[in-house]
Amino acid sequence: MLSTTSHQFFIAQIGKTHGLWGDLKIHFHTDFPEQFQIGKSFESDRGKLQVARIDLDKGLIGFVGYGDIDTAKRLTNTKIYTSLEETQKSCDLQEGQYFWFDIIGLLLYDHEELLGKVSDIQRILNIDYLQIDTDTTLIEAGFAKSFLVPYIPRYILSVDKDAKKIVTQDTKDILEAS
């Protein structure tokens, strides 16, 4: 999961300090926490931060120059960002996986019928939902202006980034019930 702010993607937020050596709780807003590695630098709303230590299992991180509890406290609530290029370089996608920024903007079809365009993605519990802005012709026919489609195999048949198209099944039923 990556949400955008200008040309950067918001990927984590720093929480409270943990222990005496400047460790901080990290709250990931990405499906790729493995991109946080020792020595790697990230942009933040408090300037550039370089990872000194990371424990993904415990959700703890430490940064160069923030090696004690007093200096680390200054980073509480800091938001961490990365660029599109860094994301593509440091995150390995499996077959059939896509970044949210690859999906947003694609047209959604129920087989051959255009239903609308993906305007956003929302995560509810552990399921991603495509927020669809309904096609104008369907809105004029009385359908809802937008609806949500669960991004699960039951509905999603194929994604073609090059053709800017997602082919689904039974999603018109979701639109009709919206």
Rounded percentage of the chain residues whose pLDDT exceeds 70: 96
Task: Determine the pLDDT at residue 96.
Answer: 78
Task: Determine the pLDDT at residue 37.
Answer: 92
- Which is the CATH superfamily of the domain at 3-90? RimM (2.40.30.60)
Is 33's pLDDT higher than 70?
A: yes
Mean pLDDT of the chain: 91
Domain segments of the chain: what residues? 3-90, 100-177
Cβ 151 vs Cβ 127: under 8 Å: yes
Is 17's pLDDT higher than 80?
A: yes
How much is the pTM?
Answer: 0.69
**pLDDT, tens digit (0-9, with 9 covering 90-100), for 58-116:** 999 999 999 999 999 999 999 999 988 887 787 777 887 888 888 999 999 999 999 99
Query: For the domain with range 100-177, which CATH number is right: 3.40.50.880, 2.30.30.240, 3.50.50.60, 2.60.40.10?
Result: 2.30.30.240
